Amino acid sequence: MIDLKDIVDQIDLLEPVPPIAAQIMALAEDPNSSMSEIADLIRNDPALTANLLRTCNSVYFGLARQVESVRDAISLVGLDHIVRLVLRNSLAANFKKEPEGYGLGEGELWRHAVTSAHVAGMLADRFGASQNKYFIYTAALLKDIGKLILGRFVAFSYEQINILVHSHSHSFNDAEQKIIGMNHEELGAMVGKKWHFSDKLIYIIRHHHLADESARQDLETSLVYLADIICMMMGVCTGADGLSYRFYSDVLNRMNLSEKDLQGIIAEAAKNQQQVEILLKPLFN
């Protein structure tokens, strides 16, 4: 029998979100904040600035001239791109590790997170949520943070979970709940609470598989869910659990999204995947 306290205690072993990332996340969620405020935050953090310049000057960006300042980076790459890059660089530390239990190699959980965040940002533009794009991007980036801890316990109980999924038609998160007593959504929400995430961000992490009917009525949570589904359809680091979640067609209906529209979004996301891979490479070198 797994002691749930043993699971929750593992939260303290994760590296907390850096203060600068937390500040950027807060600004990203505030509709009254401006891009210039985010740029000022980046400029005033020496470590973040150094990391940003290193990344922008890497061979993967192939810029025509050397980037020497945050202003240079914004001018050459664009502030929109820089904010996403800063969030990725600030939050990558925990995700680089290989999580047990989910059939993912080193860095693959992060690759899936970044890809789904990229797709979520694209969907935010498409469905009239541009003003919340960075928040939706961040929520998609962090949605699976509970897997970092729960993975070891999933590995221990995998045979039982697998029986429920394949012989009794349970979704993977339902099987986690039944066998372990907690699923990665619930644990991720606990991490968010411990790290003082906003209530809205915690809500999305807690409900990103939309098992709760009310979550399907929420646009931002639905966009994060849809981004996750699209990544699975693209085959981006699906792992052992990737195809074992519920698909809610009513979400597509509510968004007036036809199967043809969905295929078009998948094609566009796949086309942009090479850019995502280029952005990921400096983080794993």
DSSP string, 164-203: HHHHS---HHHHHHHHHS--HHHHHHHHHHHTT--HHHHH
Query: pLDDT at position 229, please?
Result: 92
Residue 46 is predicted with a pLDDT of 86
pTM: 0.88
Let me know: does 184 contact 153? Beta carbons within 8 Å: no
Digit-by-digit pLDDT tens for the chain (285 residues) are 688 999 999 999 998 888 888 888 888 788 787 777 878 888 888 888 888 888 888 766 677 788 888 888 888 878 777 888 888 877 888 887 777 899 888 888 988 999 999 999 999 999 988 888 889 999 999 999 999 999 999 999 999 999 999 988 899 999 999 999 999 999 999 999 999 999 999 999 999 999 999 999 999 999 999 999 999 988 887 888 877 899 998 999 999 998 899 999 999 998 888 777 766 765 555
Predicted confidence at residue 12, as pLDDT, reads 93
User: Which bin fits 252, alpha (ψ -120 to 50), beta or left (φ > 0)?
Assistant: alpha
Cα gap 112→5, rounded to integer Å: 28
**Which secondary-structure segment (H or E) carries 27?**
helix 19-29
Which CATH number describes the domain made up of 4-17+98-284? 1.10.3210.10
Containing H/E element for 142?
helix 133-142
